[in-house]
Amino acid sequence: MPHQVSVFAENKPGKISRVTEVLSRNNINIRAITISDSGDYGIIKLLLDKPLEGNECLKNEGITSTLKDIVAIIIDDSPGGLHKAASLLSSSNINVEDAYGFTIREKNQAVFVFQVENVPLTEKLLKEAGFTIISDKELYYL
Amino acid sequence: MYLHEKIETLPRKELEALQLERFNKAVTAASRTPYYSKLYAENKIDISKIKTLEHIKDLPFTAKNDLRLSYPDGMVAVPQSEIVRIHASSGTTGKSTVIFHTMNDINNWADQVARAMYSAGARREDVFQNMMGYGLFTGGLGLHYGAERLGCMVIPSSTGNSLRQIQLLQDFKSTIIHITPSYALHLVEVIKEHGINPHDLSIKKAFFGAEPYSEATKEKLENLWGLDAYNMYGLSEMNGPGVAADCIYKGGMHIAEDYYIAEIIDPETGEQLPDGEEGELVLTHINREAMPIIRYRTRDRTRIVPEQCKCGKTHRRIERIKGRTDDLIIVGGVNVFPSQIESVLMNVPEVGNNYVIVLDRVDGLDRMHIQVELYSKLFQGDLKSLNKLNKEIVEKLRALIVINPRIEFMEPGSLPPSEGKAKRVIDKREI
């Protein structure tokens, strides 16, 4: 299963640039970035080409960072593509804590990332329904 | 001018003779309680040697913690059947400081508050709306009984429910209100939002209580409401409101010296300071049967005004309280020590021990917000667990200190360390 790097962020200017500076200096590429915000504080979520290394680099700089298991699937970049996956999870009573996605232009496909409590079960359900689950490596080198 | 003319204008010599007589009685009663009998035995104090008021300085102080240590009734001087009521200080739950009263104590306290209110111009024709909390807290019931004793019509509306408060103010033409300054700032805005000019209401006077406020806030409130405000001082350990109060000249608050012996001490050395010098106020209750407390350290900073007041009372005055000699903070009328907050945070593994308490005031209401560092190693990486943790801390704090703080998580290392004299409290309130 792939990993996302989660970084704790106080809600104040300069937080993102501090993270991107560390990653750029260590030659780590960002595939996707999203921020969940709760007013006073939030979480910066990063898909990196080298997640383990990226997480270590951030921690070494005193940034509160951790690795988080996620589920990533490939869906068609067309209407209804995401709905199929979402309704499957909903009917299986799987609560999606957070989700985000990005498209890959060349392949006319989209990647969708779910943050759920039970990663293996969610992967199994999606696989059985015919979705392509992407592994660690595939995700970072798409 | 005076509700109890004789006692309020008693020449100093006679007043001091009365104080000595009552002081001897109070110390004798105290010395029979479990707490003081042990204390005086340990310090080899012979109370029969007390011949003048000067001798008070030979007795040890009583601190708030001593009241906690003697919980529940280690300082009670009468049989339980004589007790008619207890009160407890605000801010803490469980083993807090509990004060006991006999029927005579309740009566005397009512007299004392009635006298204070009368000096500020309250009369039996007044309608008194008491927008203060009732219950263990002394503010609500203290002035309730005093106003009734005076013969006012009392509206025990207690706190909150602004629309009903406004309705009562209008329908019963309240002339005196008792309210916290923060709620007064809020309520006046609600009144204006409803298209009512506060100056058109019948209110003439106000007693602001339960939290510290500056002269500037008082003047602001006087202008907003169109009323005349009087300072009153009190603490539950010494009954509650009415310990000292402004007369109409507002040149300091007259201490009810037939009830208390007031001293000003140097908070560091414990030495008595002469009248006029600023220090910590120490009070001895000499007119309470159930629970005499000898030399209680109030932790409030003030000075005694040496000159005689124009009103003719012989009871000396203290200046408005200038602050604390400890780190107590008062938020929305609730007393909180930073150490109480620290003890909660220390038991939450996901956060560090460094914290900063920020106090501000929004729409006239006090807000507390606490910045606390996350402990990196237990960081879960998702907002859900952070929010859950946040809620957990808020719940724990609310259970302990009654107020509802906002918790702000911070990066580790971003707050001043807990050692040394770090500034733990940032008070942004304009008081």
Q: Which residues of B376-393 are buried (b: 16+ CB within 10 A; e: fewer)?
A: beebbbbbbebeebbeeb
Whether residues B281 and B345 fall in one domain: no
Whether residues B287 and B389 fall in one domain: no
Residue B378 sits at the chain A interface (C-beta within 8 Å): no
B409 contacts on A by Cβ (under 8 Å): 8, 10, 40-41
Whether residues B310 and B391 fall in one domain: no
Classify A38 as helix, strand or coil.
Answer: coil
pLDDT of residue B332: 79
Rounded alpha-carbon distances, angstroms, from residue B221 to B12, B181, B247: 36, 8, 19
Residue A8 sits at the chain B interface (C-beta within 8 Å): yes
Whether residues B321 and B336 fall in one domain: no
pLDDT exceeds 60 at position B71: yes
Cross-strand bridge partners of residue B87:
B99
- pLDDT tens for each residue of B334-352: 888 887 888 788 888 888 7
Contact A123, A92 (CB under 8 A): no
pLDDT of residue B92: 44
**Confidence band, pLDDT 50/70/90 cuts, at residue A11:** confident
- pLDDT tens for each residue of B130-186: 999 999 989 999 999 999 999 999 999 999 899 999 999 999 999 999 998 878 988
Contacts of B307 (CB under 8 A, 6+ apart): none
pLDDT of residue B364: 73
φ, ψ of residue B129 to 5 degrees: the values are: -95, 115
Whether residues B64 and B89 fall in one domain: yes
Question: How would DSSP label each residue in B306-359?
Answer: -SPPTT---S-EEPPP-EESS--EEETTEEE-HHHHHHHHHT-TTEEEEEEEEE
Whether residues B95 and B181 fall in one domain: yes
Q: In which residue are the tokens 């209680």 written?
A: B296
Q: What angle do CA B120, B212, B259 make, to 5 degrees?
A: 50
Under an 8 A CB cutoff, do B383 and A42 touch?
Answer: yes
Rounded alpha-carbon distances, angstroms, from residue A119 to A34, A51, A69, B378: 20, 18, 7, 20
pLDDT of residue A75: 85
Cα A82 to its chain centre, rounded Å, is: 16
Mean pLDDT of B357-369: 86
Whether residues B334 and B231 fall in one domain: no
Under an 8 A CB cutoff, do B412 and A67 touch?
Answer: no
Under an 8 A CB cutoff, do A97 and B410 touch?
Answer: no
Which of B259, B290, B325 marks a domain boundary? B325
Whether residues B158 and B174 fall in one domain: yes
Residue B385 sits at the chain A interface (C-beta within 8 Å): no
The phi-psi region of residue B135 (left if phi > 0; otherwise alpha if psi is between -120 and 50; otherwise beta) is left
* Domains located in chain A, CATH noted: 3-69 (3.30.2130.10), 71-140 (3.30.70.260)
Tokens representing A113 are 């990332």
Check which CATH number belongs to the domain holding B334 and give it.
3.30.300.30
Under an 8 A CB cutoff, do A115 and B382 touch?
Answer: yes
More confident residue, A137 or B116: B116
**Confidence band, pLDDT 50/70/90 cuts, at residue B93:** very low
- pLDDT tens for each residue of B416-426: 765 555 678 88
Check which CATH number belongs to the domain holding B235 and give it.
3.40.50.12780
Question: How would DSSP label each residue in B346-408?
Answer: HT-TTEEEEEEEEEEEETTEEEEEEEEEE-GGG--SSHHHHHHHHHHHHHHHHHHHSS-PEEE
pLDDT exceeds 60 at position B90: no
Under an 8 A CB cutoff, do A43 and B376 touch?
Answer: no
**Confidence band, pLDDT 50/70/90 cuts, at residue B240:** very high
Q: What's the gap in Å between the CA of A83 and the closest CA on chain B?
A: 24
Whether residues B249 and B293 fall in one domain: yes
Residue B377 sits at the chain A interface (C-beta within 8 Å): no
For residue B406, give the chain A residue with the closest CA. Answer: A40
Distance CA B133, CA B160 (A): 9
User: Among candidates B264, B261, B283, B275, which has minimal Cα distance to B307?
Assistant: B275
Residue A50 sits at the chain B interface (C-beta within 8 Å): no
Under an 8 A CB cutoff, do B412 and A97 touch?
Answer: no
Contacts of B160 (CB under 8 A, 6+ apart): none
Q: What's the gap in Å between the CA of B383 and the closest CA on chain A?
A: 6
pLDDT exceeds 70 at position B108: yes
Distance CA B138, CA B232 (A): 13
Residue A64 sits at the chain B interface (C-beta within 8 Å): yes
Q: Which of A40, A59, A97 sits opposite B382 (nearest CB)?
A: A97
Contact B264, B137 (CB under 8 A): no
Report chain B's mean pLDDT, rounded to a whole number.
91
Residue B156 sits at the chain A interface (C-beta within 8 Å): no
Which of B325, B345, B378 marks a domain boundary? B325
For residue A64, give the chain B residue with the closest CA. Answer: B376
Mean pLDDT of A113-140: 86
Question: How would DSSP label each residue in B28-86?
Answer: HHHTTSHHHHHHHHHTT--GGG--SGGGGGGSPPB-HHHHHHTTTTTT--S-GGGEEEE
- pLDDT tens for each residue of A35-94: 888 888 889 999 998 999 999 999 999 899 999 999 999 887 778 878 888 888 999 999
pLDDT exceeds 60 at position A100: yes
The model's pTM is 0.71
pLDDT of residue B141: 97
A68 contacts on B by Cβ (under 8 Å): 381-382
Whether residues B250 and B295 fall in one domain: yes
A66 contacts on B by Cβ (under 8 Å): 379-381
More confident residue, B263 or A117: B263
B413 contacts on A by Cβ (under 8 Å): 62
Tokens representing B379 are 């960081």
Which of B325, B358, B383 marks a domain boundary? B325
End-to-end CA distance of chain A: 15
Contact B266, B273 (CB under 8 A): yes
Residue A59 sits at the chain B interface (C-beta within 8 Å): yes
Q: Number of CB pairs < 8 Å for A and B?
A: 56
Whether residues B69 and B149 fall in one domain: yes
How many residues does the structure list for chain B? Answer: 431
Whether residues B60 and B82 fall in one domain: yes
A59 contacts on B by Cβ (under 8 Å): 376
Contacts of A51 (CB under 8 A, 6+ apart): A2, A3, A4, A5, A67, A136, A140
Number of domains comprising chain B: 2
pLDDT of residue B56: 97
For residue B388, give the chain A residue with the closest CA. Answer: A38
Contact B178, B169 (CB under 8 A): no
User: Among candidates B108, B100, B109, B107, which has minimal Cα distance to B82?
Assistant: B100
Residue ranges making up the domain that contains B414: 330-427
